[in-house]
Amino acid sequence: MGKINNPNFKLVEFDQFKYDSGNNSFVLSPKKWITTVNAIGLISKSGKYTGGTYAHKDIAFEFASWISPKFKLYLIKEFERLKEEENTRLSLDWNLSRTISKINYRIHTDSIKENLIPKSLTKKEILLTYANEADILNMALFNTTAKEWRNKNKNRKGNIRDYADLRQLICLSNLESINAELIRDGLKQKDRLRKLNRIAIYQMTSLTKQDIKQLK
DSSP per position, 32-78: HHHHHHT-SSEEEE-SSSS-EEEE-HHHHHHHHHHH-HHHHHHHHHH
Distances (CA, A) of 195 to 136, 139, 146: 11, 12, 20
Higher pLDDT, 151 or 32: 151
For the chain, the average pLDDT equals 77
Instruction: Give the model confidence (pLDDT) of 178-189 as tens digits.
Output: 998 999 889 888
Instruction: Give the model confidence (pLDDT) of 74-96 as tens digits.
Output: 778 888 888 777 777 666 666 66
| pLDDT for 164 beyond 80 | yes
Q: Is-contact 171 207, C-beta < 8 A?
A: yes
Confidence of residue 153 (pLDDT cuts 50, 70, 90): very high
| pLDDT for 152 beyond 90 | yes
According to DSSP, the residues that pair with 43 across neighbouring strands are: 54
**DSSP letter (8 states) at residue 124:** H
| pLDDT for 162 beyond 90 | no
Q: Which of 148, 149, 202, 147 is nearest to 174 (CA)?
A: 202
Higher pLDDT, 20 or 202: 202
Q: Which range, of 30-44, 107-121, 198-212, averages the lowest pLDDT?
A: 107-121
Distances (CA, A) of 97 to 14, 58, 71, 131, 161: 52, 37, 39, 22, 11
State the helix-helix crossing angle for 123-142 and 166-184, rounded to 10 degrees. 130
pLDDT at 84: 79
pLDDT at 215: 46
Q: Which range, of 51-60, 93-102, 125-134, 195-204, averages the lowest pLDDT?
A: 93-102
Does this model's pTM top 0.75?
Answer: no
Instruction: Give the model confidence (pLDDT) of 54-65 as tens digits.
Output: 777 777 777 777
Higher pLDDT, 14 or 99: 14
